[in-house]
Amino acid sequence: MKLIRRGSAVIALVSVVWLWPDLATAQGSSAPRYEPLVRGWEQFFRVTWEPFERWGRPSLGGYIVNDGGLTAMRARLLVEALDPSGNVVKQTVQWVGSPIPPGARVYFEVPVPQSAPAYRVSVFAFDWLQTASLEAP
């Protein structure tokens, strides 16, 4: 039994050492860039925000308006920190925290990944709340 465990440990160690250069290369390269999961989210939502500091940390506060016909649930925002040229330097995904009924404007506050000259906020993902009604014949 000990021989099998040692053999498994040796195989795992060799695998990690063998993959190490690939892991280093992956971390040295540019990180994956997130994009909103729902293309065309702009037809359903409007987002406005302003940067501020809370306890010395950068944050964004703003509103998300639901122009769609259904309540949006589990909405997440993609917050991007931009350099002076408009290039993305950091990204984070944050929960809005409450349902967004149709026609409603909901306030949000989210921490930002780092202090930056500019930010971009988009709706990363959401689910529509759909209900059914039963009618008696």
**Rounded average pLDDT over 73-99:** 94
Residues 15 and 75 in one domain: no
Residues 24 and 84 in one domain: no
The confidence score (pLDDT) of residue 72 equals 96
Q: Rg (Cα) of the chain, in Å, rounded?
A: 22
pLDDT tens digits for range 8-60:
444 444 343 343 444 333 344 466 789 999 899 999 999 999 999 988 899 99
The number of residues in the chain equals 137
- Dig out the tokens for 47 from the structure: 């987002």
CATH number at residue 118: 2.60.40.1620
Report if residue 136 sits inside a domain: no
Residue 117 has pLDDT above 90, yes or no: yes
The helix, strand and coil proportions of the chain, stated in percent and rounded to the nearest 5, come to 20, 45, 35
pTM equals 0.71
pLDDT tens digits for range 91-101:
999 999 899 99
Q: Which residues contact 70 (CB under 8 A, 6 or more apart)?
A: 102, 128, 129, 130
Residues 23 and 68 in one domain: no
Q: Which residue has the higher pLDDT, 133 or 77?
A: 77
Residue-number span of the structural domain to which 89 is assigned: 41-129
Residues 75 and 25 in one domain: no
Position 114 confidence tier, pLDDT thresholds 50, 70, 90: confident
Residue 78: φ, ψ to 5°: -95, 115
Residues 20 and 84 in one domain: no
Report if residue 101 sits inside a domain: yes
Residues 79 and 52 in one domain: yes
Q: Are 77 and 122 in contact (CB under 8 A)?
A: yes
